[in-house]
Structure 1
Amino acid sequence: MACYIFGAGDAVQLRARPAAGDYVIAADGGWNACRDAGLVPDLLLGDFDSLDAVPDFAHVERVPVEKDDTDMMLAIKRGLALGHREFHLYGGMGGRRTDHTVANLQALVYLAHRGARGWLYGAGEVYTAICAGSITFPARESGILSVFCLGADAQGVAIRGAQYEVADAVLTADFPLGVSNHFVGQDITVSVRQGCLLLGLSENE
């Protein structure tokens, strides 16, 4: 079972619709994205600073405007508390708030630290993160894979199956060495021995 969370950022087409048993959370203005997609969320959560009015909905949880967590992060924490380990985040990129895009990219690392996998979808791109682990992306004839260090130095980084391969490399947060690698028709496996990596898949070459 997966947790789908909709935020108030740019709307993007669903890669897959929630299945039976999946949990859907609308984070504040993500309510509109849910409705546009023909989805009824299981929970509407937020401080409601991005909606003109609180919808007449049975499952609403209102939180203070002044708080440490963004509405998206509150939704992520709720999904984790419910036992979900796979997260699909929509409406978490673009819009007029680049700071929220950065916050949602950080949230992917938050999930990875807790043994969960998050996917953050944008227009023609998707991001995820790994910490002291590995991930394999299925073969594609084209497309870009970028690998960034997010946090302390990422030690023992390996990239196999891409146009540019590395083994036992060190990536740092102050130099984008892993940007713009390419698929070449085979699976790509990325691993890191210590530290966290942010991984971006783009169809926009």
Structure 2
Amino acid sequence: MQQTQSCVVMAAGEYYDEPIALHEGDILIAADGGLDHARQAELEPDYVIGDFDSAQESERTVAAENDHVLVLPPQKDDPDLLSALKFGWSLGYRTFHIYGALGGRIDHTISALQITALVAQRGGTAILHGNRQHITALCDGSLTFEATDLTAITKHEPAYVSVFAHSDVAHDVTETGLKYGLEHAELSNQQVNGLSNELLNATSATVSVNEGTLLITYPAGIADPEHHVSHEFEGNLGDLDFSISAALRVH
């Protein structure tokens, strides 16, 4: 599989001892407290972005050590993770590998899932790295897992793939090459009937949706699935946010 240049983002959450995978042509962005994790991993980010409310180092120290620092105000609509992805998108990246966005505070985890779906709805790919699991989103397209010898990866445990509707309704969902097949089904975000399907050993598998957005989990250690979209997407992730919405009230 040809390696696609990616924007790797380090956030402030849990890391589960998974090594940060960087390939030639990738860039590394530390989102706020992700800078501390980058330093612990002896990695130097290409860019640092955030309001630094969760980083241990002061804004002045960070700015003095790195010319590529963007300091955001603490009161704004966007979380620092979304700001990092917006910045990466503005540099032309459409594939994002995100570490440290799962675990810890559940509200941050939910936010990361929402952001992953947003990237998919703009035609990009975001992959969240968690505790032996990865999470991605798929909008109007398909993703294919290549055939893999799973015995050494899963240690004889099932290689679970779970599929959830993120949009109100996901139309024409099909799953092939998995233990349980699904053909032209309709899923809603009030159903959980896509939980705990399984990859089959040495068998390729595909998940597709004709219209709608899915959240999909799969085991870490296997190759990331290939994403294919069924049409051109419009829009982007938006401009960097430096303020709060007029409808919000700060006390």
- Please report the TM-score for the alignment, with normalisation by the length of structure 2: 0.77
Deviation, 1:182, is 0.8
* Structure having the higher Rg: 2
Residue in 1 aligned with 2:79? 70
Are the counterparts in 2 of residues 12 and 90 from structure 1 also a CA contact under 8 Å? no
Q: How far, CA to CA, are the matches of 1:79 and 1:51 in structure 2?
A: 20
RMSD: 1.4
Counterpart-to-counterpart distance in 2, 1:15 and 1:130: 25
Per the alignment, residue 199 of structure 1 pairs with 216
CA distance in 2, matches of 1:15, 1:180: 26
Counterpart CA distance in 2 for 1:183 and 1:126 is 14
Q: Measure, in 2, the Cα distance between the counterparts of 1:133 and 1:43.
A: 31
Match among 202, 206, 211 for residue 189 of structure 1: 206
Q: CA deviation at 1:107?
A: 1.1
Contact 2:173 2:208 in 1 (8 A): yes
Q: CA deviation at 1:139?
A: 2.9
Q: Does 1:85 align with 2:89?
A: no
11, 24, 27: which one pairs with 1:23? 27
Q: Does 1:124 align with 2:140?
A: no
Distance 2:24 2:194 in 1: 38
- Deviates further, 131-140 or 42-51: 131-140
Where do residues 97-108 of structure 1 align in structure 2 (5 Å cutoff)? 97-108=105-116
Shift of 1:82: 0.6
* Worse-superposed segment, 182-191 or 153-162: 182-191
Structure 2: any 5+ residue segments left out of the alignment?
Answer: 151-157, 221-251
1:18-62 Cα distance to aligned partner (Å, 9 max, x none): 123211100000001111222100111101110232334222211
Please tell me whether the aligned partners of residues 139 and 183 of structure 1 are also in contact (alpha carbons under 8 angstroms): no
Unaligned runs of 5+ in 1: none
Aligned to 1:43: 47
**Partner in structure 1 of residue 231 of structure 2:** none
Provide the rounded CA distance (Å) in 2 between the counterparts of 1:62 and 1:80: 18
Q: Percent identity?
A: 39
| Amino acid in the other structure paired with 1:196 | T
SS across alignment from 1:193: strand
Is the 8 Å Cα contact of residues 51 and 73 (structure 2) preserved in structure 1?
Answer: yes
Residue 17 (structure 1) shift: 2.5
Structure 1 residues 16 and 49: alpha-carbon distance in aligned structure 2, compared to 1, 3 A threshold: closer
- Deviation at 1:152? 1.9
